[in-house]
Amino acid sequence: MTPAADHPPSQKTAAVLTAVLRACAEHVAQRAGLPAILEASRQRDTPGLLRFLTWSASYHQAEAARLEREARTALTARKATEAAWRTVARWLTLCLHPVLLLMLADRPDSLTQEIRGLQWWAPYCVDAAAEERERARHAHAEADSLRTQQRRRPRGRRPTLVDTP
């Protein structure tokens, strides 16, 4: 237990709060209507959770597809930039010009820096896309599990929250 003041409570306070929380948990666990309350909660929350998981799976799939496109674009751009770098290097051998030196130098906005960035960006996008695919797979699995649980439950009379005399 940590209060808002960020220092631990005294032993007496911790003992009292622990005892109160245990008593509350025991009281709730002993209620005769607890299974009905839990079932009603599941029935109420499951559709919303299924909607969220379905949205989450499609979002992560779309994000993975975007990152894969970005990786392909980065690979293409890197090849083009490397070709430009080789062309500038050939020109430099023919004519020693300061602009050509700046294009090849290891400095911001040079072809060398652009190649370095693209060499890093493409693998990063591939790894991030794999992570997004895994998140989508996990959301699908959770949604499938919830649907399976829904099908297994009997569709009879809904449980009541109040015991009838």
Distance of CA 5 to the CA centre of its chain: 32
Confidence of residue 104 (pLDDT cuts 50, 70, 90): confident
pLDDT tens digits, one per residue of 60-102? 999 999 999 999 999 999 999 899 888 888 888 888 888 877 7
Who wins on pLDDT, 129 or 106?
129
- State the pTM of this model: 0.60
CB 129 within 8 Å of CB 64:
yes
- pLDDT above 90 for 30: no
